[in-house]
């Protein structure tokens, strides 16, 4: 009788423990769907037709948005248009677009909003299949904020985003920059 109780308790605890990741994955999926819906109001390109790549660097990071189909000139045009607008907004201290998509409490966003003008350098560059924004700063707290912000975007965009694999001067050389 006692061993039956123990087995039932172990089975119950195992089910709860095994169910926890599934519940977490379900909540992540719900969050990603919510972000995707809000993103459509801010980003003119089709999220499912693009990939966001976030590469952390020692002085900030690189955010690339590329069309999954390198021949989709309309998506490429829309990516570039959006990133140019984001570059200008961020230079002016306007972070309303990521706040609208990811929420006002998005990790790293408050610190980026408090940065002095020019404290985070933001440069746009065309890529063959999209565009990129390169963020750099000498302020370690802002580097940390950028990294938190990148992590939040990776989580929120799910399968439509990926972490970059390389960062730094060697990566730049390989990319012809």
Residue 46 backbone phi and psi in degrees, to 5: -80, 120
Question: Alpha-carbon distance 74 to 79, whole Å?
Answer: 9
pLDDT of residue 11: 37
Supply the pTM of this predicted model: 0.71
pLDDT of residue 150: 93
pLDDT averaged per 10 residues, the chain (length 177): 38 37 48 49 75 95 96 96 94 84 79 94 97 97 96 79 68 43
Listed by start position, the domains of the chain span: 2-174
Helices first, then strands: H and E counts in the chain: 6, 5
pLDDT of residue 17: 38
pLDDT of residue 23: 40
Q: Where are the beta strands (DSSP E) in 74-170?
A: 121-127, 130-136, 161-163
pLDDT of residue 123: 97
pLDDT of residue 16: 34
143, two tokens: 């580097």
């Amino acid at each position: 009788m006692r061993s039956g109780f123990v087995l039932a308790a172990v089975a119950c605890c195992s089910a709860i423990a095994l169910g926890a990741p599934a519940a977490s994955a379900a909540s992540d999926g719900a969050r990603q769907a919510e972000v995707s819906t809000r993103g459509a109001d801010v980003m003119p390109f089709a999220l499912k037709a693009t990939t966001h790549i976030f590469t952390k660097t020692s002085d900030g990071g690189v955010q690339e948005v590329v069309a999954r189909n390198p021949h989709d000139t309309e998506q490429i045009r829309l990516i570039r248009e959006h990133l140019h607008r984001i570059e200008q907004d961020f230079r002016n201290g306007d972070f309303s677009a990521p706040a609208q998509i990811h929420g006002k409490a998005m990790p790293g966003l408050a610190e980026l909003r408090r940065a002095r003008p020019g404290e985070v350098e933001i440069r746009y560059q065309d890529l063959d299949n999209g565009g990129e924004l390169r963020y750099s700063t000498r302020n370690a707290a802002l580097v940390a904020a950028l990294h938190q912000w990148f992590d939040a975007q990776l989580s929120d965009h799910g399968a439509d985003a990926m972490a970059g694999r390389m960062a730094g001067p060697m990566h730049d050389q390989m990319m012809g920059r």
